[in-house]
């Protein structure tokens, strides 16, 4: 099996990559997390989805490709330059709400419907407001994070943040975890029905 033979790349993806280079956006989500998100989202018709860290919209393009017409997604970034670009590309899709806001503030103020899948690709909802974000996931819903494998450009002490986050997720009895040394290092966590990780 050749896992890089990904055949269903979103049509808009190459244009977004060119735009990323033009504006020197250095944090693009890769096609591996993209294809995983698309597959997961396809399992959730009529879903309510959340992305923290819109960036230039690379992962958003994949997520939209996995969504049916009845599903909706809210995506948040605190950089207006990036949300404007995302609005240019995706603003006409009625399923998308692009919000320019600080993710921490947004999470703390949100009191709407819970989510079928959250892709947390910014500091908030990952290294801060973790309990709040996990509470916002429906039973059977997914919490997805990437960038868990060490990189040479990580700031000093970031490994400790990652270790703490992994340990915390492992300690939660209401989530089943799959840790993948694939892409940039992915954790897929699914909220369980009964708060138990299973019978042993
Ligand atoms: C890893 S990038 C996201 C990449 C994006 N998923 C994509 O495919 O292009 C992280 C993003 O989080 C945003 N960000 C950083 N701090 C944030 C905050 N406090 N609230 C909201 N967004 C934040 C950055 O502007 C950046 O675009």
pLDDT digits (tens, 9 = 90+) for 95-140: 999 999 999 999 999 999 999 999 999 999 999 999 999 999 999 9
| Nearest Cα to Cα of residue 66 among 88, 87, 43, 89 | 43
CB atoms within 10 A of CB 163: 11
Predicted pLDDT at 193: 79
What one-character-per-residue DSSP string does 35-86 give? HHHHHHHHT-TT-EEEEE--TTSHHHHHHHHH--TT-EEEEEES-HHHHHHH
Ligand 1 atom closest to 16 (CA): 9
Nearest CA to ligand 1 atom 26: 55
Nearest CA to ligand 1 atom 12: 53
pLDDT band at 92 (very low <50, low <70, confident <90, very high): very high
Ligand 1 atom closest to 119 (CA): 6
Average pLDDT over residues 45-72: 98
Ligand 1 atom closest to 55 (CA): 27
Predicted pLDDT at 198: 55
What's the pLDDT tens digit per position in 134-146? 999 999 999 999 9
- Report residues whose beta carbon is within 6 angstroms of any ligand 1 atom: 27-29, 53, 55-59, 76-79, 82, 102-104, 121-124
Centre of ligand 1 from the C-alpha of residue 198, in Å: 34
Using a 10 angstrom Cβ sphere, with 0-12 exposed, 13-18 middle and 19 or more buried, the burial of residue 194 is: exposed
pLDDT at 83 over 70: yes
Q: Which of 71-80, 117-126, 147-156, 191-200 has the lowest mean pLDDT?
A: 191-200
Centre of ligand 1 from the C-alpha of residue 121, in Å: 6
Ligand 1 atom closest to 58 (CA): 8
Per the listing, tokens 């799959």 go with 178
Average pLDDT over residues 6-32: 94
Percentage of residues in the chain with pLDDT exceeding 70?
96
CB atoms within 10 A of CB 184: 15
Helix (H) or strand (E) holding 106: helix 103-109
């Amino acid at each position: 099996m050749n896992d890089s033979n990904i055949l269903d790349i979103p049509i808009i993806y190459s244009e977004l990559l060119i735009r990323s280079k033009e504006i020197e956006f250095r944090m693009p989500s890769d096609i591996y997390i993209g294809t995983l998100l698309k597959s997961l989202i396809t399992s959730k018709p009529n879903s309510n989805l959340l992305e923290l860290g819109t960036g230039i919209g690379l992962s958003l393009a994949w997520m939209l490709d996995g969504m049916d017409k009845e599903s909706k997604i809210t995506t948040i970034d605190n950089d207006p330059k990036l949300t404007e670009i995302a609005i240019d590309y995706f603003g006409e899709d009625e399923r998308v709400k692009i919000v320019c806001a600080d993710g921490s503030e947004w999470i703390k103020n949100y009191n709407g419907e819970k989510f079928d899948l959250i892709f947390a690709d910014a500091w908030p909802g990952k290294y801060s407001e973790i309990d709040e974000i996990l509470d916002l996931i429906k039973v059977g819903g997914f919490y997805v994070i990437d960038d868990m494998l060490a990189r040479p450009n990580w700031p000093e002490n970031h490994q400790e943040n990652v270790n703490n986050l992994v340990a915390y997720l492992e300690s939660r009895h209401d989530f089943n975890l799959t840790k993948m040394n694939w892409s940039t290092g992915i954790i897929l966590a699914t909220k369980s029905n009964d708060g138990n990780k299973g019978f042993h």
